[in-house]
């Protein structure tokens, strides 16, 4: 399994190649953020009621004859103006591209804020490219359903 330093370097190289040579990407998003508030679960912690959302993003490209696949997960808890997030990063094999935490957990890697920021910069780059030329990036965004189990 890759360490976060290796993944940081790989993402940096992929971003450079994407800018310079137009590397093609497939990005798939499943999120509950656009769902109706009544469809979202709530949690009460220490008397504070939190609305819970989640967002998965799958990044895929082929680079130097190798497949790069990474899935990120963000849980977003909102209470009024307060927002708290939890993040995970997974490097699954190509056959396991499910947006399910139990399935992805064995492929999780430790993440730092520096790595999370680099992944965010990759998202910004790809989204900016998509806005300019929709043929350069395949982007599929769909709603998710979040059920919190006890």
Q: What digits encode the pLDDT tens for the residues 90-131?
A: 999 988 878 999 999 999 999 999 999 999 999 999 999 999
CA distances from 136 to 15, 69, 75, 86, 94 (A): 14, 17, 29, 30, 21
Res. 9 pLDDT band, cuts 50 70 90: very high
Residue 8 contacts residue 115 (beta carbons within 8 Å): yes
What average pLDDT does this structure show over 35-43? 92
Res. 148 pLDDT band, cuts 50 70 90: low
Res. 2 pLDDT band, cuts 50 70 90: confident
CB within 8 Å of 92: residues ≥ 6 apart = 69, 71, 104, 107
pLDDT (0 to 100) of residue 142: 86
Residue 2 contacts residue 10 (beta carbons within 8 Å): yes
Which token pair is 21? 């040579």
pTM score: 0.91
């Amino acid at each position: 399994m890759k360490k976060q330093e290796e993944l940081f370097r790989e993402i940096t190289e992929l971003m450079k190649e994407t800018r310079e040579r137009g590397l093609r990407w497939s990005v798939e998003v499943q999120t509950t953020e656009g769902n109706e508030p009544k469809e979202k679960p709530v949690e009460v912690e220490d008397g504070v009621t939190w609305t819970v959302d989640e967002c998965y993003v799958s990044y895929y490209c082929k680079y130097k004859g190798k497949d790069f696949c990474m899935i990120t997960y963000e849980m977003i808890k909102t209470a009024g103006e307060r927002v708290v997030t939890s993040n995970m990063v997974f490097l699954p094999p190509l056959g396991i591209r499910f947006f399910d935490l139990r399935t992805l957990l064995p492929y999780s890697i430790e993440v730092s804020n520096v790595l999370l920021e680099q992944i965010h910069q990759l998202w910004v780059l790809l989204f900016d490219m998509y806005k300019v030329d929709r043929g350069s990036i395949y982007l599929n965004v769909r709603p998710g359903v979040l059920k919190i189990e006890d």
